[in-house]
């Protein structure tokens, strides 16, 4: 039995370890529309000391008012920062009130809203 190397491996000898994905497996995972893409490796930064996330679900009817069309409201805070991201879900989708849909707090709120 021939054992294949695992597609994910830690890089060695670097100041900050990264997780690399084998280019063969990356080619299999890519969408067929990406023909001609020259990407050979995909790097992911590992978090050794992840920043704590405080995610609070708030009732939008109480916080905004009874006539609101907001379906979900979350307050997301990272670490001990004072800045609070207010993440809304309404008919337009998910978005942060200050930073828009590209904010990292949006993905954290979406993960928190998923049923477990």
User: What pLDDT does residue 50 have?
Assistant: 79
In the sheet where 42-45 sits, what is the strand order? 8-10, 18-21, 42-45
Domain ranges for the chain: 8-45, 53-113
User: What pLDDT does residue 76 have?
Assistant: 95
Phi and psi (nearest 5°) for 71? Answer: -90, -30
What whole-number percentage of the chain has pLDDT above 90? 48
Task: Indicate the pTM of the whole model.
Answer: 0.57
Position 11 pLDDT exceeds 70: no
Looking at residues 87-103, what average pLDDT do you find?
93
Position 90 pLDDT exceeds 60: yes
Q: Which residue has the tokens 């069309």?
A: 69
């Amino acid at each position: 039995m021939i054992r294949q190397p695992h597609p994910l491996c830690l890089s060695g000898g670097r100041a900050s370890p990264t997780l690399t994905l084998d280019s063969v497996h990356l080619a299999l995972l890519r969408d067929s529309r990406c023909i001609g893409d020259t990407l050979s490796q995909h790097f992911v930064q590992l978090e050794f000391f992840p920043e704590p996330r405080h995610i609070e679900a708030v009732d939008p009817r109480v916080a905004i008012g009874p006539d609101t069309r907001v379906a979900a409201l979350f307050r997301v805070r990272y670490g001990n920062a004072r800045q609070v991201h207010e993440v809304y879900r309404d008919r337009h989708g998910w978005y942060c009130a200050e930073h828009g849909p590209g904010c990292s707090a949006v993905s954290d709120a979406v993960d928190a809203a998923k049923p477990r």
